[in-house]
Amino acid sequence: MKSILITGGAGFIGSHVVRLFVRKYPDYKIVNLDALTYAGNLENLKDIEKEKNYAFERVNILDADAIKEVFKKHQITDVIHLAAESHVDRSIHSPLDFVYTNIIGTVNLLNQAKEDWKADYSKHRFHHVSTDEVFGTLGETGFFTETTSYSPNSPYSASKAGSDHFVRAYGETYGLGYVMTNCSNNYGPNHFPEKLIPLFINNIIHKKGLPVYGDGKNTRDWLYVIDHARAIDTVFHDGKNHESYNVGGFNEWKNIDLVKLLCKLMDEKLGRTTGESEQLITYVKDRPGHDWRYAIDASKVNKELGWSPSVTFEEGLSQTIDWYLANTEWLQNVTSGAYQQYYEKQYN
Ligand code: NAD
Ligand code: DAU
């Protein structure tokens, strides 16, 4: 029987991965390990927290002894590692936090897996969840493939690149079994409102300014979070040992076009006059080191493992807005307290 440690399971993507695995695999034990930082929220998992095959451990991945205990207590057979500091703007203010969690935290997990699984690495798998940002930035054309060289531009992406290299090195040096996924921008329910889409949904609800960085022409490739969780499920089970897979939505948007679409949908759903929310757009100082364009070539995971997105962007965005409008209490809870201080620091 598998006993899978999912790290960062109380966060945005992690909570969707935990839910998918708990529901789809009743014979697996799913152990959610999370420190519950500002980004972790057990409210995200209310609907599955009482399931028999689910357990939660509040542990910081910087605490190697606590990780050892969790591995022992739950006889962990596999890891799906999502815990991370994940926001680029925060990494510009506090790079060391990203070095600690994203690099040292990952190495702590790798060390424990190396130790506990050494009798036969072929029976175990460490799935490292990474990002397309490790590849740096693209110009107007081209795509990131699995062989694109790493060229990270932010402290966040540098720390994720560092963690990717350690995973690969543990595979090559010690024989640890691993797979890796490098995914594009996710959106969907439970996304913390420091990131573009949920921040702007929240601001539109409250008729606050929409701070578009630079000229708004930077481009991102957006994927619905549940499709990312499906891709992780596919690669975890069927991916080839020691390989990485790029995951993306085949869905590029310039920020300003996406923001205008969001404004239009929000006006419709909130019964506001067409064009009202667009008036909130304010161009602000650009993000330092702002990557120009991300675009993923997801043909490997599609051709070799049969994964493709199941939800169109229009459907996904509409469902996402509906979720935020139906969950104003969730939004209110996560935007009180420390969030206000972060907002002042970032946008003033
Ligand atoms: P998130 O910030 O919403 O969640 C991160 C989770 O990790 C939180 O629950 C937090 O409490 C936990 N965590 C943070 N530091 C920890 C520590 N030291 N010990 C234990 N737990 C800790 O992040 P997300 O957007 O869900 O991203 C999850 C993973 O997916 C990250 O590794 C990120 O790099 C990667 N990723 C994210 C995206 C995206 O668009 N959000 C895209 C590609 C890859
Ligand atoms: O590509 C995958 C990555 O996507 C993940 O690895 C990261 O964890 C995730 O945070 C995300 O990074 P981005 O920096 O692309 O996402 P963010 O939502 O912060 O920004 C999206 C775009 O919108 C980016 O070009 C910056 C811009 N932006 C963002 C914010 C928060 C604005 O113009 N204004 C804003 O206030």
Would you kindly state where each structural domain of the chain is located, as residue ranges? 3-190+224-252+290-313
Which pair of tokens denotes residue 55? Answer: 């357990």
Q: Annotated catalytic residue: which of 34, 57, 78, 133?
A: 133
Residue-level pLDDT at 287:
98
**C-alpha separations of 213 from 210, 217, 286 in Å:** 10, 9, 4
For residue 154, the ligand 2 atom closest to its alpha carbon is 14
State the distance from the centre of ligand 1 to the C-alpha of 92, rounded, in angstroms. 17
Q: Which two tokens stand for residue 127?
A: 């799935």
Closest CA to 305 of 243, 224, 223, 221: 243
* Angle made by CA atoms 188, 191, 193, in degrees to the nearest 5: 130
pLDDT at res. 178: 98
CA-nearest residue, atom 6 of ligand 2: 131
Residues 2 and 78: beta-carbon distance below 8 Å: yes
Residues of the chain with pLDDT under 70: none
**pLDDT for residue 330:** 97
Helix/strand/coil for 50: coil
Q: How would you classify residue 169: left for phi > 0, otherwise alpha for psi between -120 and 50, otherwise beta? A: alpha
Alpha-carbon span 85 to 60, nearest angstrom = 12
User: Whole-angstrom Cα distance, residue 143 to residue 298?
Assistant: 9
Residue 116 phi/psi, 5-degree rounding, is -75, -25
Whether the CB of 262 sits within 6 Å of ligand 2: no
Distance (angstroms) between ligand 2 centre and the Cα of 98 equals 16
The pLDDT value recorded for residue 337 is 87
Residues in the chain: 348
- Calculated CA dihedral for residues 147, 152, 153, 154, nearest 10 degrees: 140
**Separation CA 83–CA 209 (nearest Å):** 31
Ligand 2 and 199: CB distance under 6 A: yes
Using the Cα atoms of residue 308, residue 312, residue 315 and residue 319 in order, give the sign of their dihedral: positive
Instruction: Convert 231-256 to b/e letters by CB count within 10 Å (16 or more is b).
Output: bbbbbbeebeeeebbbbbbbbbbebb
Residue to probe by mutation, ligand 2, list 195, 212, 251, most atoms within 8 Å of CB: 195
pLDDT at 226: 98
Could you confirm whether 132 is annotated as catalytic? Answer: yes
Q: What is the model's pLDDT at position 280?
A: 98
Taking Cα atoms as reference points, which of 202, 197, 196, 210 lies closest to residue 330?
202
In the sheet with 54-58, reading across from the earlier edge strand, the strands are 54-58, 29-34, 3-7, 78-81, 125-131, 178-183, 243-247
Please write the tens of the pLDDT for every residue from 293-311.
999 999 999 999 999 999 9
Q: 301 CB under 6 A from ligand 1?
A: no
Q: How many CA atoms lie within 13 A of 141 on its CB side?
A: 0
The string of DSSP codes covering 233-301 is: HHHHHHSPTTEEEEE--S-EEEHHHHHHHHHHHHHHHHTPPTTTGGGGEEEEPPPTT---B--B--HHH
157 ligand 2 Cβ < 6 A: no
Strands 29-34 and 3-7: parallel
Task: Give me the architecture of the 3-190+224-252+290-313 domain, per CATH.
Answer: 3-Layer(aba) Sandwich (3.40)
Task: List, in sequence order, the alpha helices (H) in the chain.
Answer: 12-24, 64-74, 88-93, 95-98, 106-116, 155-174, 196-205, 225-238, 255-270, 299-305, 313-326, 328-334, 338-347
| Contact 158 CB / ligand 2 (< 6 Å) | no
Q: Residue 156 catalytic?
A: yes
Q: Are 16 and 190 in contact (CB under 8 A)?
A: yes
Given a contact cutoff of 8 angstroms between Cβ atoms, the answer to whether 99 and 107 are in contact is no
Q: Is 322 a catalytic site residue?
A: no
CB distance 211 to ligand 2 below 6 Å: yes
